[in-house]
Amino acid sequence: MPAALLGLHAVVALAAPIAARRLGRRVLLLCAVAPATATVWALLHASAVVGRGEAVDVHVAWVPTAGLNGDFRLDAFALLMVLLVSGIGTLIFGYAAAYFPATKRDVGGFAAWLTIFAGAMLGLVLADNVILVFVFWELTSITSFMLIGTNHREAASRSAATQALLTTGAGGLALLGGLVVLAEAAGTYSLSGLLTAPPGGEAAAWGIALVLVGAFTKSAQVPFHAWLPAAMAAPTPVSAYLHSATMVKAGVYVIARFAPAFALLPAWRPLVVGVGVATMIVGGYRALRQHDAKLLLAYGTVSQLGFMVVMFGLGTPDATFAATTLIVAHGLFKGALFMVVGAVDVQTGTRDIRELSGLRHRMPVAFSVSCVAAASMAGLPPLLGFIAKEAAYEGVLAGELGLTGPLAVTGIVVGSALTVAYSLRFVRGVFAGPRAAAVVPRERLILVAPAALLSAASLLMGVAPLLVDALVNAAATAAHPEWETYHLSLWHGLTVALGLSAVAVAGGAALHASRARVERWQAAAPRAPSASGGYDATWRGVLAVARRTTGVVQNGSLPLYLMVILLTAVTLPGAVLVADGEWPTATYTIGSWLQIGICLLAAAAATTIAFASRRFTAVLLLGAVGYSVAALFVLHGAPDLALTQMLIETLSLVIFVLVLRHLPSRFGHRPQRIDRVVRFSTAALVGLAVFAFSLVTAGARTAAPVSQEYVARALPEGHGRNIVNVILVDFRALDTLGEIVVLVTAALGISSLVVAGRLSRHERRASAGDST
């Protein structure tokens, strides 16, 4: 069934560009069918998967020996992710249909890419084979590239798309390496199998480190986070869907899956929690500096992703449970906020909070939706975000985490205070202030409706956590088997967690109250090395090194390239030949007088060619070499070879003469770029290496030759006495067929070259006639 769902996405994506010709932007509504079907499918399985804790396994064997199988697994955690990916996806498709102007160019292509993304993300959370995980992971990177570059006529869009692709693509390679190392160490490519029996040892530690690098790039963790704010060049539906609610959670998802099995590795917690806390604080700090409401939210997303990485990364049952709640809460409030920003952008033409003023009067629905979503983001009761944050504090405080515990608590309190401050900054910046002079058209409810749905869910689930309780508990159990059901609730009594929440809210409110001073201070603070600067420097450095290397290695001289290849061929096998040092014990003879005579003739003729200054002399000498070789074949006991060699040599001579009569009689005298001595030494080295090689091969002949079988079968099966002929036309007839194909291809090429040459001469004569 998962395969059918993925197939549905593919079919819809293929059909979208065609349907768009008739439907225009409404094609996006048609595409919504795919994620909607996936949502319904997940809901149909909810009673079994969530209620009874079962998992739907689909196994399609493809190349079992290589571990390549179409394995899919729908457990409760995957189901929760499917609901987020496909559920929010369905709303986004509807929103996008209203967001774009009816005149948008190439809406069909956009719809196709967005549908492919939805399918890839669905596949990623359902895949139960590590290679399949990687394939879908890369597919989301590629679709993200295409979607960020939707406005590809703008340079900013292009460079943002490239940056996202390079960053997440490099992380994808690390992920692949890590997954393969882990799978090889565990002896299985099944993800669930790998996680139930995690491999240990040094290899596994390196593997998991690579997996983490992949997850950090995808989920925009410090220091790889710069691509995410840049990706805001994408249309807002894309930002809402890919870069807040779903794709950036792929890294979080992978950490969630791996943490319970690997969190006890010594380096895991310091690394993951350290990176997560740093990301939380950097993201929140930067969000406070932004004037573009969308960028503000983007840095907020970076911060929240850090939060999720910390919580899942701790790997304790309590923290996993809290993180699961958080991933739901974040999807709901961040999706809503992005969609509101898009609506504001469409209605007013700007997203700059310095220009926006008094929108709460003109867009009251958007204002209330934003208030609920931002409150959930800030962790205020009675919203789902508050419950998630309470669970997070309790999760950290409950675990025995050593030094990472205090680090995580401090990080979360500071990060939450920053979150409160930028949430206030967002709502106040976009909606507050006196009524602006500019006339804003009436609020388009269709643009705000999807956001309102998400915000309503935030509120309902906050007031009545029972709605989401079963799902989150089952998902946490699926992600961390040791989790025992604990019911979400708004009020836990006067706990430490509540106190920490209050501290964070108070801190955030204070930050916001003194925002003018904070902004002055931020402007005056020495600029830390920025991640986007690091990306730019890396990009320029790689290009410069590539250019310099190419300049040295590829200087344009074809003989030089050839020399490099030849010397490599001599040096590498030659070194092994010398290092092995086992000289064969074959008996060497000098050869008969006749053989010596012919050999001397061949060698002399060949050497003279090198010094010949006339083309004709060189070709005649080549003929002498060829006929000498034929004679050597006879002496060796190979009459067929000799016969063929004679015929071919004669034919070659004829062709040479046919061509040479057009060319000048002497060779040209253009100076060479490589010194004569160097060329000579290279040639001598090659000769020496071949000499040594031929000595060794003679001695290496120790096993019984394969051809004995051919000799035995030639007469009874091939009905021929000439064994060489029988081999060519009977035992190895397919090889001969291939040889004939090569000859025919060469003949076709030759005839077309010669005919084309004639034509051009004919034309030249014709044009010469015209000009006279």
Partner 1 sequence: MTLVLAGTVAVLYAVGTYLLLQRTLTRIVIGLALLGHGANLLLLLAGGPPGEPPLVGEATSGVVSDPLPQAMALTAIVITFGVLAFLLALAYRSWAVSRNDEVEDDVEDRRVAAGKRASVHDEEVGQ
Least Å distance between CB 610 and partner 1?
Answer: 5
Tokens representing 586 are 């074959």
Least Cβ distance, residue 693 to partner 1 (angstroms): 8
Long-range CB contacts for residues 117-120, cutoff 8 Å, separation at least 24: 117/143, 117/144, 117/147, 117/241, 117/242, 117/247, 118/9, 118/34, 118/35, 118/38, 118/85, 118/86, 118/89, 119/5, 119/6, 119/8, 119/9, 119/10, 119/13, 119/34
**Minimal distance in Å, beta carbon 497 to partner 1?**
52
Radius of gyration of the chain (CA): 36
Cβ 556 to partner 1, closest distance in Å? 4
Instruction: Answer yes or no: are the C-beta atoms of 306 and 324 closer than 8 Å.
Output: no
Name the residue nearer to partner 1 (CB basis): 49 or 726: 726
| CB of 496 vs partner 1, minimal distance in Å | 55
- CB nearer to partner 1: give 519 or 640: 640
- Nearest distance from C-beta of residue 274 to partner 1, angstroms: 36
Joined together, the tokens standing for residue 199 give 């491999």
Minimum separation from the CB atom of position 138 to partner 1 (A)? 24
For partner 1, give the closer residue by CB, 62 or 680: 680
- Of the pair 62, 667, the CB lying nearest partner 1 is at 667
Q: Please say which residue, 532 or 760, places its beta carbon nearer to partner 1.
A: 760
Give me the phi and psi of 62, to 5 degrees please: -120, -70
C-beta closer to partner 1: residue 60 or 747: 747
Measured CA angle at 683 (ends 677, 684), to 5 deg: 85
44 vs 733, beta carbon nearer partner 1: 733
Which are the contacts of 608, defined by CB distance < 8 A and separation ≥ 6? 621
CA atoms of 754 and 648, how far apart (whole Å)? 21
Closer to partner 1 by Cβ: residue 439 or 734:
734
Q: Which is nearer to partner 1, 419 or 645 (CB)?
A: 645
Cβ–Cβ under 8 Å, residues 298 and 225: no
* Angle between helical axes of 466-479 and 445-463 (0-180°, round to 10): 80
Tokens matching residue 681: 């030494």
Nearer to partner 1, 40 or 657 (CB): 657
**Region of residue 402 (left: phi > 0; alpha: psi -120 to 50; beta: else):** left
- Least Å distance between CB 366 and partner 1? 39
CB of 706 to partner 1, least distance (A): 6
For the bound state, the minimum distance from the C-beta of residue 73 to partner 1, rounded and expressed in Å, comes to: 43
CB of 295 to partner 1, least distance (A): 24
CB 346 within 8 A of CB 99: yes
Q: Beta 68-74 vs 56-63: how paired, if at all?
A: antiparallel
- DSSP class of 351: -
For residue 190, the 8-state DSSP code is: B
| Complex with partner 1: residue 485 or 549, whichever CB lies closer | 549
- According to DSSP, residue 265 is labeled S
- Shortest Å, Cβ 141 to partner 1: 21
Measured distance CA(700)–CA(693) in Å, rounded: 10
Q: Which is nearer to partner 1, 65 or 694 (CB)?
A: 694
Is residue 169 within 8 Å of residue 141, measured between CB atoms?
A: yes
Q: Rank residues 530 and 722 by Cβ distance to partner 1 and give the closer one.
A: 722
Nearer to partner 1, 528 or 654 (CB): 654
128-149 burial code (b ≥16 CB/10 A, e <16): bbbbbbbbbbbbbbbbbbbbbb
State in angstroms the smallest separation of the CB of 580 from partner 1. Answer: 17
How far is residue 97's CA from residue 106's CA, in Å, rounded to a whole number? 13
Minimal distance, residue 541 CB to partner 1, in Å: 14
Q: Give the DSSP letter string of 330-347.
A: HHHHHHHHHHHHHHHHHH
Residues making up the chain, counted from first to last: 772
Is there a contact between 188 and 194 (Cβ–Cβ < 8 Å)?
A: yes
